[in-house]
Chains A and B, each alone.
Chain A
Amino acid sequence: MFTPMTSVLLIDDDTELTKLLQEYLEEEQFHLDAAHDGVVGLQKALANQYAVVVLDVMLPGMSGLDVLKQLRQKSSVPVLMLTARGSELDRILGLELGADDYLPKPFNPRELVARLRAILRRTTGGGISASGKPLHLADVELHPDSRSVTCGGKSVTLTGAEFDLLYTFLRSPGKIISREDLTQAALGRPMSPMDRSIDVHVSNLRRKLGTYDGNHERIKAIRGSGYVYLLPGEQL
């Protein structure tokens, strides 16, 4: 029955909340380390090995988005963002800056645990087998073992979610994949109502890969159905 504790860093200025969460997550086999401002949080995140960083966007001093920006320059540790509800901009910016998922605050702690587990499943090899064969499609090459991607010979830096998304696309190019399935595959959790994060991840992936020669889209949204990764030269 013994499972080792997973260490999580929570960067949130609400000390009372972090205490409560520490207590709660302890029972869920997470060891929670807390930082109460951005600067300390960034230092801790860079200095220690955490399985996941939970980052509140609303922080005094250095904002959560700035922390994320600086963190991403040096580390690819999975980040779960806590955003104020209704603040779509923070959420989109956060995902664009490389956060893996977000949770609107206030949240149900059960949901937090579910999100943390989803991220961990993906990043610790639970999602995509670490020994898969490299996938090729036109100028894109994806190596599951090293979790690296090249496009036109150049290396492309993708976040975990974006990588899993591309992996899902490349396994069935030219086929329409529903947003629900993409959410499950890339974020490791079911899609929730009014959840747009998969669209942000897709648009990030689009931006990072660029278009096919001749300005043709790689990934096309199919209204009412989902997304399709187009084969080169294919027009819908």
Chain B
Amino acid sequence: MPRGLFLKIFLWFWLAAAGIIGYLNLALWISIAADPNPERNHGAFGEALNLYAESAVQVYDREGTQAFAQYVSRSMTEAGSEISLFDGSGKPLTPQSSSDATSVADQVRSTQQHVSQVTALGRITWGREVEGPSGKNYIFVTRLRQPYQPRRLTAIQVTTAILVGGLIAYLLALYLTSPVKKLRSTVQAFAQGNLDVRVSPALGKRRDELTDLGRDFDHMAERISILIDSQKRLLADISHELRSPLARLSVALELARKNSPPGAAPPLNRIEQEAERLNELVGQLLALTRLESGAERVPAEIVLLEDLVQQIIDDANFEAKPLNKEVKIIQLDKCRVNGSAELLRSAIENVVRNAIRYTAGRTTVEVGLYWKLETAELTVRDHGPGVPEAELEHIFEPFYRVSEARDRASGGAGLGLSIADRTVKLHGGTIQAKNVDGGLLVIIRLPLAPSQTGSSGSQDHAIFSPAPLASG
């Protein structure tokens, strides 16, 4: 279905065309109807009427009613005029005089002048006083057939004109909007990560501002794709170069372990632990760089958030149990969002792991997924030390270290929340942290996939979910 610009151009042009057609038709009609055509009283036409009036009066005066009727019958039948004759006092001498004729005769009598009156639709009634050969005065009045029919267009003609106008408007709208449509679909494909799409081939030989815009877009796309390609290559190279020594280090470490006395175990364990930490950091740093460089794209696949959260919680419990901690789901609504399941998984995982890290022993991390009209809301609440109020907004910054209790000793590299933050933003969502009674609450909001917003598919959800963890 064409919509938006297409519909606007089409409807407005059509409306304009129909308006012009309608107005012209009306104006034509009015101008013809209102035209008294003064020329008709003068010149040759007026002279001819005078002659005719005089000769007709002569016939009447000399030969009587019968001859007059005969004389005028020809012009009455052939020219369609109505002819009436009145005597000097205004008494009709011919049968069936129309009211127009009578009123003109009265005017002639009172003004002693030629009278020409325009009546309905340009029909002219003309009269004058004529003196007959006998010296008697007569008033001759003729009601001429309509000089020409004011040509009102018929309904069919008007309809045809409007339809043709519509067709032209349609073609115009199509012509103007089709490159916009092509441009748009290309931009969309580009935004979805297909960096190879270009507009120019789709626009063909056309040349105007829109194709210029298309070429500009192509130029921009070219540059962006080169930048992103080199960025990706660089990231892959860095990843490889940083990790290769780590891979060798861990093998060498195991070899050393085999050939060393038992007393060397603690420092070797420490080396292993630090190598693992370094490795994790490299991974996180790369993930963060990928997210921030735009090299990471969000596919438009549907992610079943409730399944994803369930899987993450299952895995997280696997990690939490040895630490005497637990992750519990307090609510799990069905939520469909658009995006990358892998990226969202790592984002949510990071937040949940962070909560596990800081929640006190023998406490529970509570996770809730709530369906809210347009957004999916994920809450992760720990029972830990929380974060000083002034530092709350900084905890999503890379390597930000909260001054107090939360520090390196608890094992965080400080990038997990940044990764979560960038990923959620990449998906058009928001992430927020706040202190609640004895712990930290992180809220992730993601826009629902279009098919799930509003009331559709929500029958099994409480639209007004209770505020998560309000009572603490």
Contact = CB atoms under 8 A, between A and B. Distances in A.
Interface in A200-236: 221, 223-224
A193 B315 contact: yes
A16 B251 CA distance: 10
Given A86-B286, A86-B287, A24 B251 contact: yes
Interface stretch (A36-44, A66-74, A103-111, A166-174): A103-111
B319 interface: yes
Given A108-B272, A223-B307, A224-B310, A14 B247 contact: yes
Contacts of B275: 106
B23 interface: no
Interface string B304-325: 0011001101110011000000
Nearest to B239: A84
A179 interface: yes
B258 interface: yes
A113 to B, nearest CB: 9
A179 B247 contact: no
Nearest to B279: A106
A84 B310 contact: no
A105 B239 CA distance: 10
Interface of B: 236, 239-240, 243-244, 246-252, 254-255, 258, 272, 275, 279, 283, 286-287, 306-307, 310-311, 313-315, 318-319, 342, 349
Contacts, number: 70
Given A14-B247, A85-B243, A85-B283, A223 B310 contact: yes
Contacts of A199: 311
B247 A106 contact: yes
Given A86-B287, A194-B315, A194-B349, A107 B258 contact: no
A140 interface: no
Contacts of B239: 84, 86
Contacts of B254: 24, 108-110
B313 to A, nearest CB: 8
Contacts of A108: 250, 254, 272
9 contacts: A23-B255, A58-B236, A84-B239, A86-B239, A86-B283, A88-B342, A109-B251, A194-B349, A224-B313
A21 B251 contact: yes
Given A24-B255, A223-B307, 16 more contacts: A14-B247, A17-B247, A20-B248, A20-B252, A20-B255, A21-B251, A24-B254, A27-B258, A84-B240, A85-B283, A86-B239, A86-B286, A88-B342, A105-B247, A106-B246, A106-B250
Given A84-B239, A108-B250, A224 B314 contact: yes
B314 A14 contact: no
Contacts of A176: none
Nearest to B249: A106
A85 B240 CA distance: 10
Given A86-B287, A191-B318, A107 B250 contact: yes
Contacts of B310: 223-224
Contacts of A105: 243, 247
A117 B240 CA distance: 27
Nearest to B248: A17
Nearest to B342: A88
Interface in A1-39: 14, 16-17, 20-21, 23-24, 27
A133 B309 CA distance: 40
Nearest to B280: A85
B213 to A, nearest CB: 34
A166 B415 CA distance: 40
